[in-house]
Structure 1
Amino acid sequence: MTQTTVHANANICQHLHSAAQSMPTKLAVAVQQSKNGKLTYQEIDFKTLHQQSDIIAKGLLQYGISRGKKAVLMVTPSIEFFSLTFGLFKAGIIPILVDPGMGIKNLKQCFAESQPDVFIGIPKAHIARRILGWGKGSVKQVINVGGSGLQRWLTNATHLETIIEIGSRNTHIHDMAMLENDDMAAILFTSGSTGTPKGVVYSHGMFEAQISALKNDYGIKPGERDLATFPLFSLFGPALGMASIVPDMDASKPITANPANLFAAIEQYQCSNMFVNPALLERLGQAGEQTQHKLSSIQRVISAGAPATISAIKRFSKMLNPNVQVLNSYGATESLPVSMIGSDALFNTSDLTDQGKGICVGKPISSVEISIIAITDDPIENWDSITPLAANHIGEIVVKGPMVSQSYYRRMQATQYAKINDINVYRHRMGDVGYLDDDGQLWMCGRKGHIVDAKRGEQRLKRYFTIPCERVFNTHPQVKRSALVGVDVAGHTVPVICIELHKDLVCSNANVLYQELTKLAEQHPHTQGINRFLIHPDFPVDVRHNAKIFREKLAVWAQAKWRE
């Protein structure tokens, strides 16, 4: 199945090559390091990054890692990370990128599915590989990056310096691997926050489409500087002619970041752009409020990964110059970005969100088509068998566009359930539900798998959607957040709202709170019938976004509480 053509031949590194020619001495990457309370920065310009990645590409190929091989890349954000990643792309070697925050069990599953030929990592990753058997049976070559002494010895791996030395001995200009748009460029494993992680196959055409969106829809221009807090997004910087400024933080756990480090990096390089997820947006906003900090150089803020709260965006926006927008992006690893809405427009929809209309995630970006279809758990083979729903009807969100992935790696069943054949491309079922309003804006109503159908036996009485229901209860002053789950009561499925209270508030009388929440439910047709509530001390959430609630875990907890 072929993807929509963007270029006849493609490689993301073509953009790096262009930047190396047009702005050779301009900053490409700066990596912040914090030691003993002092901040230092490693820097590399576009010409040097291009040359170093060329040398690494030649070294990898001469070392015997041929084009089309798959290489796990577990390297912390660093100059070496950028040089290696672009070197792999130039050589036509397929990087496998995984989120180290997804847990040991999921990591092992990722490597078992992807069957990597090569394992490239820091000493810590190699030691874990040897102890836990990551890639056992498929990995033939191992390359270590960084470390010293005992650490390097324990990796039992060839060191990156050796690869660079091999590549340096070849004085010929490296010919970048030119591939077709639908050729596999990388495998990206999703976080698995709603299930087992799946490897998303990225083509060169997908990368090109994402670069085009960042240029045309987000307005990013060559010469900008970006505070890069997410490793994958940071790779787009050099491809856009934009410097990536990498702060000293754990990208897999942004909630632990030191705001002072990030503010210092922005000030040092006068960053114009920054990418933040909701957890980091919240943390930086709180820190900025306490110190009255201003981000005077920032012209654009991009937030993605999960919906950020209105209060968090407003708090963060106090640090920005007037008219600077926080651009909230909707999408997923399988298709990003899909739609976008600026913070000013989002604020205008907040009252409707609190009434349970869902979260407005804006209009589709150029080249993306959004459709809403009837909700079903069955696979859908062909798009021509589908009649999309009319405006203002909640259904399953389906997207089509050049940045939409066409398959999961070696997961035929998952691909079958997530993709719909539309002549010469596949549309992607986002796994979310929502609707398009009369103006063509998309409103998100939650995950399809989190829908609660109230049932009497097998008879469905009413359908409840997470975001429309939860946002109503979140308006109560004592409620920090809420989560809709289904509980079995005497053979019937009933909706239950789990409540997490604000930390500084103590609920002196739970029954009074429950009565007030029941009255709230009765005021809206989509929450009527909800009259069961449980207070939970601290919701289980994903470590990266600190916003994606693990409702599956809450459902198990709520069921156990109901039986007590």
Structure 2
Amino acid sequence: MEEKGSNFSALVLQHAQQRPDRLALVIPPEVSGADVVQEVTYGQLADRVEAFRRGLEDAGFVPGDRIVVVFPVSVDLYALVLAIFAAGMVAVLVDMGMGLRRVLWAIEDSRAVAMVSVHRLLRWHALLPTLWPLRLVVADHPGGLGLRPLDALRRAGPRRPALERAPDDHALITFTSGSTGRPKGADRTHGLLTAQHLALAEHFPHRDDDIDCPCFPVVVLHDLCCGLTAVLPAVDLRAPGQVEPERVLQQLRARRATRLTAAPAFMERLAAHMLTHDVRLPEVNSLFVGGGPVSRALCAQLTQAFPGADAQVVYGSTEAEPMTSASMVEVRDEGGDGFLVGRPAEVAEIAVVQIDTPAPRLGPEGIAPWVVPVGALGEIVVRGPHVNQRYVDNPEADAVNKIRAEAGSVWHRTGDVGRWDERGRLWLHGRTKDAVSHDGRLHQPLAVEQACDALDGVRRVALIQHPRAALLAVDFGDRGPEVDAALRRTLERFGLAGVAVHPVPFIPTDRRHNTKIDRPALRAYVTATWWGDALPC
């Protein structure tokens, strides 16, 4: 078993000694924006890491310095992030899909001393006061006034061990945000990153010769810790739902990929193409789908398209990965309302609770007084060695999202609403902030949407709370009286009789995985298109 390094990067760099000629990364142009496929072995990756590390140190950066890294996924991106870790510095990753205002908030809150990004953003640095205090490095341009090229940070030299770091030392700060409010930075320490890697390796065992195709850039770090080859899929990772299936299938065959990790929107298009054209990939032995609700229909498609694979639905988050998993065969064949996400990972302690916000500090009884009965809905909370303990420099976010126990452990509040069943399995029903009020009761949307989505003539629906009323937005495939009647019957079954049905041309989804419904954007669209006093029903 691999040793725990005090510096997370050591888990990756050890493979440069053990298997220097093994391919580490394959990154196609669709991902990197380069003209050619980028490939690098573990030995070559370690050399790039050392070159960046020496360049950072020669430039005067010191352990603890925070550096914002925002440019397309590439070999240089992973080499630079690993160099930052190895030098004892802190990488700050910001989700550019948040929009410019929140990106600038995140950069300001990160307390970074430098930023490495693309020219189309940095060229405006003179007009963006948030960037004025930062040393700016441009990743895709020769540089210019106030901008240093990334190549200037390369200094060749013999490899050195990663700098010793304590488990609680910052390694990676990731800023993501919902649609409202100031983004919060998850504090992923060296100890936490290591614990998440070990939890994933234990819960989803791999073979030494596996070749993974991960849609999630952060999963690549786990692959590299395992010494696997990571082949990123030939798709713009900002729009996985727009994948061209045949292009990816050619890539998977050529690289002989054995594992596939992706979001539901990506897998829906891939599976539909495979079944339509009777294509199979017998080399794929493992399939992991997460990042959003995974429907029974998708599980049915995937178990048919990948009949020999261990196909799993995965539930987790930035703050706690993994939390639970379920066999797709089990999800496919199981009835019931909500989305089945299975049983907890070995290191994850999960509870379903009803608790105040902010939560009180727990006493000797722990979380037990707030736990709801089996079958009842409540907020899902999780703790374990792989669970994020705090947000960076943000006590307000900690107060809302963390529950501190008497012994010092921390429960993370996911914001998800779910229930346990009698067999110890977790089901998702929605999010605390997405509850809809109707006739004096609160309703979670996922089970309602799941039932409506399964109706003929319906592409997708979203149950949302609008200031004027609760309503069901519907993207109709083929609307008719039978479809309207089926929708009304379904709403009545869930206690939502009288909820208005509002046709929409599409249901907007999140920018990261193209899977979760973007409810604020949908509410804004409905507001802009809602004329008169009544909704069409």
TM-score normalised by length of structure 1? 0.86
Select the residue among 530, 533, 536 that pairs with 1:563. Answer: 533
Residue aligning to 2:503:
535
SS of residue paired to 1:152: coil
Is 1:136 aligned to residue 131 of structure 2? Answer: yes
Residue aligning to 2:183:
197
The residue identity in structure 2 corresponding to 1:213 is A
The residue identity in structure 2 corresponding to 1:430 is T
Q: For the structure 1 residues 9 and 105, does the alpha-carbon distance in structure 2 shift closer, same or farther, using more than 3 Å as the test?
A: same
The residue identity in structure 2 corresponding to 1:174 is R
Residue aligning to 1:451:
435
Is 1:396 aligned to residue 379 of structure 2? Answer: yes
Residue aligning to 1:475:
454
Residue aligning to 1:435:
419
Residue aligning to 1:220:
206
SS of residue paired to 1:563: coil
Cα distance in 2 between the residues matched to 1:416 and 1:434: 22
For residues 393-434 of structure 1, the C-alpha deviation after alignment (integer angstroms, 9 at most, x for no partner) is: 111111011121112223221210100001212110100111
- Tell me how far 1:348 sits from its aligned partner: 1.8
Select the residue among 226, 237, 243 that pairs with 1:257. Answer: 243
SS of residue paired to 2:305: coil
Residue aligning to 1:458:
none
Cα distance in 1 between the residues matched to 2:245 and 2:451: 32
- Tell me how far 1:362 sits from its aligned partner: 0.6
The residue identity in structure 1 corresponding to 2:389 is Q
The residue identity in structure 2 corresponding to 1:475 is A
Cα distance in 2 between the residues matched to 1:96 and 1:228: 21
Shifted more, 215-224 versus 391-400: the winner is: 215-224
Q: For the structure 1 residues 557 and 297, does the alpha-carbon distance in structure 2 shift closer, same or farther, using more than 3 Å as the test?
A: same
Cα distance in 1 between the residues matched to 2:167 and 2:217: 23
- Tell me how far 1:193 sits from its aligned partner: 4.8
SS of residue paired to 1:215: helix
Residue aligning to 2:97:
101
Q: For the structure 1 residues 248 and 398, does the alpha-carbon distance in structure 2 shift closer, same or farther, using more than 3 Å as the test?
A: same
SS of residue paired to 1:177: coil
- Tell me how far 1:530 sits from its aligned partner: 4.6
- Tell me how far 1:195 sits from its aligned partner: 5.3
For the Cα contact (< 8 Å) 1:126–1:155, is it kept in 2? no
Select the residue among 148, 152, 155 that pairs with 2:142. Answer: 152
For the Cα contact (< 8 Å) 1:95–1:187, is it kept in 2? yes
The residue identity in structure 1 corresponding to 2:262 is V
The residue identity in structure 2 corresponding to 1:481 is R
Q: For the structure 1 residues 487 and 47, does the alpha-carbon distance in structure 2 shift closer, same or farther, using more than 3 Å as the test?
A: closer
SS of residue paired to 2:227: coil
Select the residue among 24, 40, 44 that pairs with 1:44. Answer: 40
For the Cα contact (< 8 Å) 1:359–1:445, is it kept in 2? yes
Residue aligning to 1:3:
none
Residue aligning to 2:329:
344
- Tell me how far 1:535 sits from its aligned partner: 1.6
For the Cα contact (< 8 Å) 2:297–2:332, is it kept in 1? no
Residue aligning to 1:363:
343
Q: For the structure 1 residues 78 and 555, does the alpha-carbon distance in structure 2 shift closer, same or farther, using more than 3 Å as the test?
A: closer
Cα distance in 1 between the residues matched to 2:262 and 2:507: 22
The residue identity in structure 2 corresponding to 1:469 is V
Cα distance in 1 between the residues matched to 2:380 and 2:120: 40
Residue aligning to 2:170:
184
- Tell me how far 1:496 sits from its aligned partner: 2.4
Structure 2, unpaired ranges of 5+: none
Q: For the structure 1 residues 221 and 325, does the alpha-carbon distance in structure 2 shift closer, same or farther, using more than 3 Å as the test?
A: closer
TM-score normalised by length of structure 2? 0.90
For residues 104-127 of structure 1, the C-alpha deviation after alignment (integer angstroms, 9 at most, x for no partner) is: 222222112213211112333432
- Tell me how far 1:299 sits from its aligned partner: 1.1
For the Cα contact (< 8 Å) 1:224–1:243, is it kept in 2? yes
Cα distance in 2 between the residues matched to 1:191 and 1:317: 33
Cα distance in 1 between the residues matched to 2:474 and 2:353: 31
The residue identity in structure 2 corresponding to 1:335 is A
The residue identity in structure 1 corresponding to 2:137 is I
For the Cα contact (< 8 Å) 1:25–1:47, is it kept in 2? yes
Residue aligning to 2:359:
379
Structure 1, unpaired ranges of 5+: 1-5, 456-460
Cα distance in 2 between the residues matched to 1:121 and 1:488: 40
For the Cα contact (< 8 Å) 1:199–1:409, is it kept in 2? yes
For the Cα contact (< 8 Å) 2:350–2:383, is it kept in 1? yes
For residues 9-54 of structure 1, the C-alpha deviation after alignment (integer angstroms, 9 at most, x for no partner) is: 622222123212221211111222379xx99533221122122212
- Tell me how far 1:380 sits from its aligned partner: 3.3
- Tell me how far 1:242 sits from its aligned partner: 0.7
SS of residue paired to 2:21: coil
- Tell me how far 1:439 sits from its aligned partner: 1.7
For residues 205-230 of structure 1, the C-alpha deviation after alignment (integer angstroms, 9 at most, x for no partner) is: 22112211221111123332111322
For the Cα contact (< 8 Å) 2:282–2:308, is it kept in 1? no
Residue aligning to 1:497:
472
The residue identity in structure 2 corresponding to 1:428 is H
Is 1:113 aligned to residue 103 of structure 2? Answer: no
SS of residue paired to 2:29: strand
Residue aligning to 2:22:
26
For the Cα contact (< 8 Å) 2:4–2:194, is it kept in 1? no
The residue identity in structure 2 corresponding to 1:447 is R
Residue aligning to 1:273:
259
Cα distance in 1 between the residues matched to 2:436 and 2:99: 28
- Tell me how far 1:558 sits from its aligned partner: 4.8
Q: For the structure 1 residues 330 and 215, does the alpha-carbon distance in structure 2 shift closer, same or farther, using more than 3 Å as the test?
A: same
For the Cα contact (< 8 Å) 2:65–2:89, is it kept in 1? yes
For the Cα contact (< 8 Å) 2:4–2:11, is it kept in 1? no
Q: For the structure 1 residues 25 and 558, does the alpha-carbon distance in structure 2 shift closer, same or farther, using more than 3 Å as the test?
A: closer
For residues 428-450 of structure 1, the C-alpha deviation after alignment (integer angstroms, 9 at most, x for no partner) is: 01001111112211110101101
For the Cα contact (< 8 Å) 1:24–1:46, is it kept in 2? yes
For the Cα contact (< 8 Å) 1:101–1:253, is it kept in 2? no
SS of residue paired to 2:173: strand
Residue aligning to 1:163:
153
Q: Count residues in correspondence.
A: 525
The residue identity in structure 1 corresponding to 2:503 is I
For the Cα contact (< 8 Å) 1:32–1:42, is it kept in 2? yes
**Identical columns (%):** 23
Shifted more, 283-292 versus 328-337: the winner is: 283-292
Cα distance in 1 between the residues matched to 2:379 and 2:30: 46
The residue identity in structure 2 corresponding to 1:405 is N
Cα distance in 2 between the residues matched to 1:308 and 1:194: 25
Is 1:418 aligned to residue 397 of structure 2? Answer: no
Select the residue among 31, 34, 55 that pairs with 2:51. Answer: 55
Cα distance in 2 between the residues matched to 1:161 and 1:485: 49
Q: For the structure 1 residues 8 and 217, does the alpha-carbon distance in structure 2 shift closer, same or farther, using more than 3 Å as the test?
A: closer
- Tell me how far 1:94 sits from its aligned partner: 0.6
SS of residue paired to 2:142: helix
